[in-house]
Amino acid sequence: MRLLLALLPLAIASAAAAQDPHAGHQPPANVPAETHAGHVQPAWPSDTPAAPPPELARDHAAERFYSPEEMAAARAQLAREHGGGTAWKVMLDQAEIRPSGGDDDFAWKGEAWYGGDINRLVVKSEGDVAIGGDVHAAELQLLYSRAVSPYFQLQAGLRHDFEPGPTRTYGVVGFEGLAPYWFDVEGAAFLSEKGDVSARLEGSYDLRLTQLLILQSQAELNLAAQDVPELGLGAGFTDAELALRLRYEFRREFAPYVGVSYERRLGETAKFSRAAGEDVEDTRLVVGVRTWF
């Protein structure tokens, strides 16, 4: 009996709710209401389209505090610092004196480039000259370089040999990059205006003994597709060079070094050299500087 008396108020409330279909319902928050036949009805939003989003190019909160000119300069600087600009570099990898029993030689090897992360104009040069004497070799390359991966570039252009004579101009197709385990590698194929085909492969590795003392090992191999008697070249591998250079980087941009270089002419090229009374191999101490800016 007591249980029935306790449930009676609940039964009365349920019956009242069944008679009023809107009982217990409230309009959504922040929505105005309208009265209809004694009942509260929500006034739903109209079908008016939302305002378009702001233009992305102008949606910069910082422009509330800085002028458009200042913001444009800041965004341009940001683009340059993240690969959107151009840069340049001149690198003289070798500038060295090579003492010998006779005339001492001065040798150089370097490159300069201008451009961005993808496209660059590259100038390369190398050679050697007797100090106070004749030029033994002098080469200049003008190349277009395009990055094909984060670590490698393809290059194409022209090469001109001023010495040894007779002079030659070549078309060049090659590559340059950083191989796994931090080996710097490059290679190129050359086609002269006389139809001579040759190629060159180079590689180097920097072993950091300390943060400032670096031992660089280097190798170069040249080859020719046919005999070129006027240049003293024979078909096959023509010559090779191995070198070790120990440099001390007073600054990253300036590092004097000492080292040793070994050169050897090979195959048919060695035969041409012997016939001309020239040595086919040479080992020299080198003293020089590596610099860039």
Residues 68-105: tens digit of each pLDDT: 889 889 988 887 778 777 899 999 999 999 987 677 89
Q: ∠ CA 87-92-97 to the nearest 5 degrees?
A: 175
Question: Of 14-23, 52-61, 228-237, 241-250, which range is least confident?
Answer: 14-23
- Per the CB < 8 A criterion, the answer to whether 200 and 185 are in contact is no
Domain range 87-292, its CATH number among 3.40.50.720, 2.40.160.40, 3.20.130.10, 3.30.300.180: 2.40.160.40
97-131 pLDDT tens trace: 998 767 789 999 999 999 998 999 999 999 999 99
Distance CA 124, CA 153 (A): 15
Distance CA 205, CA 216 (A): 6
Which has the closest alpha carbon to 293: 84, 107, 113, 150?
113
- Per the CB < 8 A criterion, the answer to whether 258 and 215 are in contact is no
Peptide bond into 256 cis (omega under 30): no
Query: Average pLDDT for residues 270-285, to the nearest whole number?
Result: 93
Burial of residue 257 (number of CB atoms within 10 Å: 0-12, 13-18, 19+):
buried
Instruction: Spell out the alpha helix ranges (H) of the chain.
Output: 2-19, 68-79, 267-275
35-54 pLDDT tens trace: 444 555 555 555 667 666 55
From residue 176, give the alpha-carbon distance in Å to each of 120, 151, 251.
13, 9, 25
Hey, what amino acid is at 122?
V
| Token code pair at residue 53 | 């989003």
- Per the CB < 8 A criterion, the answer to whether 91 and 110 are in contact is yes
| Token code pair at residue 187 | 């290679």
For residue 207, give every residue at least 6 positions away whose Cβ sits within 8 Å of its Cβ, in sequence order, or none. Answer: 214, 215, 216, 217
Considering the chain, what percentage of its residues have pLDDT values greater than 90? 66
Distance CA 10, CA 203 (A): 93
Can you give the pTM of this predicted structure? 0.74
Distance CA 95, CA 107 (A): 6
Question: Of 27-41, 42-56, 167-181, 184-198, which range is least confident?
Answer: 27-41
Q: Three-state DSSP class for 125?
A: strand
Distance CA 119, CA 195 (A): 29
Which has the closest alpha carbon to 243: 267, 223, 264?
264
CB atoms within 10 A of CB 116: 13
